[in-house]
Structure 1
Amino acid sequence: MLSCCHARPKAANKKISDEPQTAPAISSNTETSTIRNYTIAESEDDLELKSTAPVPIHNRNRRTSVSAESMSPTALSTPFKPVVIPKSDSQKERIYASVKSNILFTSCDEEQLKTVVDAMTEKSVAAGDEIIKQGGVGDYFYVVERGELDVFVSKSGEEPIKVYQYSSGGSFGELALMYNAPRAATVIAKTEGVLWALDRVTFRMILMDTTSKKRRMYEGFLEELSLLSSLEAYERAKIADTLESQIFSNGQVVIKQGDIGDRFYIIESGEASVTKNIDGVESQFPSLKRGDYFGELALLNDLPRQATISAIGRLKVASMEKAAFVRLLGPVVDIIKRNMADYEKIKSLEQI
C-alpha cells in the first residue's frame, strides 16, 4: 500500500502526503530606476541621486505627502470588466517583457500580467512632448514601444539636468499606480515615438478583482481540505492570502521523492502524475487534478517527500511555505489539537 496517497470521497479532494515550493507578494514603497552610476528614487522625501560618492539631495521645502489608497478586495461594489485594447502578438510580447521585469509587477501572476498588458492604451508622442513633469500628479505608468525619452531632474529649483534616457522596452511611472505621489522627475520625448499607458484606477481594479477572485477560490479549496476543515473563516482567509501561484510545463518535476519539503500545494488547473519508487521499482499512481492537494505533511513535520509529482502538460498550482503558515496561525500543534481525527489518520499512514 502506498503510504503517500489515499482516496477521498467523491466531491472531496485527493491528497498526497508529501511536501513543496514558491514566491513573494506585491509591495512597492519606492520607485527606482538605475541610471548608470545614478539611481532615481521616488520616496517620501524627494528624489535622491546617488553616485559613486553618494551626495544626498534633500528637499529643503515641506515634506512631500505620499498616500496609499485602499486595496481591499471587497472595495469592488460592481463586477469589474477588464479593458482589452487590441495589440499585435509582437506588441504584447514586448509589453509583457517590460512589465514583468518591473519591480512593481514581480509578484503578479500570469493572468494579472496578461490583464495589465491587454488594458494598456497606445499614446503617440512627438519630439519635445512632456510626458510627465517633476512635482506633478502621477496617474499613469508607461512602457516605451518606440522612440527615445530624456529624464531630467531639478534639484532645489536649479536648472534641470539630464540623468537618463529611456528607449524601446523601458518603463517608468510605476509609483503613480500605487500612491498619490508627485512625480520625481520630468520625462520629455527626444524623438517621436509610441508609448503604452496604464492608468492607476484600471491597475488597482485589476489587482483588486484578481485578488478577490483568488481569495474566494483559495478559500473554497481550503474549506474542502479535511486537514484544515476545523479552521475559522478568518484563518482560511489569512492562508488564502499567502498562497502563491506557480506554473510548471509538461514533464517538469514539482516535488521529488526523498527530498526535504517545507511547502504544500493545491492544484489550480491542469494535471500531475504521481510516481513512487518502491524497492527499486517505479510505480505509477492515479494522477492529480484541479482541487487535489499534496504536501500537507510539511505543515506537520519534516518528513521527506513520499512520491514524485510531475506536470502533465501545463500545470498551475498554489503553494504555501510552512514558515508562513506557522507565522500566521501560530504553532501547528494548535491546529492539530482541533483536528486530531485527521492527524491520527495521517500518522497511521506513515506506519504503512
Structure 2
Amino acid sequence: MSRAIHIPEGLRELLQDFTVEVIRNQPRDICDFALQYFADLKRRKREEKGQALKSSYEAMMFASDEEDNDEEFVVSAETYDPDNDEENREPTVIHPKTDQQKQRLRGVCKDILLFKNLEQEELSKVLDAMFERPVAAGDHIIEQHDDGDNFYVIESGIFDVYVTDNGVTRLIATYDNHGSFGELALMYNTPRATTIIARTLGALWCLDRVTFRRIVVNNNAKKRKMYDAFIQTVPLLSSLETYERMKVVDVLCPQQYTDGQRIIAEGESADCFYIVESGEVRITVRRTTEEGEIEEVELTTCTEGQYFGELALVTKKPRAASAYAVGNVKCLVMDVMAFERLLGPCMEIMKRNISNYEMQMANVLQSASNSRTFSDVATA
C-alpha cells in the first residue's frame, strides 16, 4: 500500500532559492557553498526576527507567542494600553533649547523612522521633550538587563553594541554617526537587551520613557490599525506572514500628491517604492518621434492597491519611466533600505512582472526609430 509523503511547508521554496544561487554563483565545491549558504540564511532569519521585535509592537506580541527552540532568548512583552497607562497622567517635561539646538535636533531627527508618521503637533511635542547629552569615549549609554529610561538619537559619534551570554561578551553591531537605539525596552517594557558604549566623543539626543510611550508608541498602534487591513488587500503583500505585514506597515509613510504632480521622474535614481492608497497614477515613458522631438507616452495607470517604482529597486538601475498623479492621490511610500530588508519574500513576484513591462513597453516604443532595449527601460 502506497504511503503518502508529507512535504514540509516551505521546503520547495527553500530548495528552489538554493538552486538559483548555485546556478548563479557556479561554486567549485557545492558542499562548502551549501554550508555557507544555509549558515547565512539562518543568520538572516535571526536578524529578521530581531528586527520584527524591534520595529513592530504587534510583531513582538506575535513572535513572543511562538515556540522557537533555536532562539537564544525569549522576550516577553506586556500589552501597552495608552488609555490605561498611569504614565499618561504625568506631565510632559519640556527642555528649552536655543535656535541653533533646535535646528540641529530637527536635522538629526528628520530620517528617524519612528518619527516619520507623527503629526506635526505630536512631532513638536517630541522635539520639545528631547534633551542633549554629550558623551565621552568609553561612556556606557545602555547596560544590558537595566530598565529602559530613554530613547536615543545619534547626532555624532561611534557607538558599539555588545551582548553578554553565559559570561561571554560579543560585539554585534556599531552605529557610525547616525541612527537611533533604545526603543525596544520602552515599547515592550522589557529590560535592555544589549550594552551600548561610546567608542568616541559624540552627542546624543534623548527622549524620556514617558513621552516616548505616550506619543510614539500610541501613534504607531493607531497607524497599524489604520493600514493593516489595507495592506492585506495588496496582492503583492497578501502572501506575507502576519508579522511580516506588521513590519511593512511600520515603515510605510503616507504621502499626498495633487493633480498633475510628478511622483517619480524618468532617469532619476531610485530610492522609494510606492503603493497607491487612493486615486490614480499615470506611468509614462519618453520616446523620440520621427521628427526628432521628445514626447511622453502613457504606458499604464495604477489605481488603489497597485504599486509602482519597484523594478528600479530590483534591478538597481535609474528610473526609466515617470509617474504623475491623476487628481488627488495618496500613496504609501517605503524607502529603499526598508524595501530590501522587508520585501525579500516578494522579490520573485516582482521579478516575474518584468515580462509584463517588457510587452507593454515594446508596444509603446515600437514606432520609435531609436527605441531602447528592455534592460534600459523596464526599471520603473
Q: Specify if TM > 0.5.
A: no
TM-score after normalising by structure 2: 0.39
TM-score after normalising by structure 1: 0.41
The structure where helix makes up a greater share of residues is 2
Flag the structure with more relative contact order, 1 or 2, with Cα contacts below 8 A and sequence separation at least 6: 1
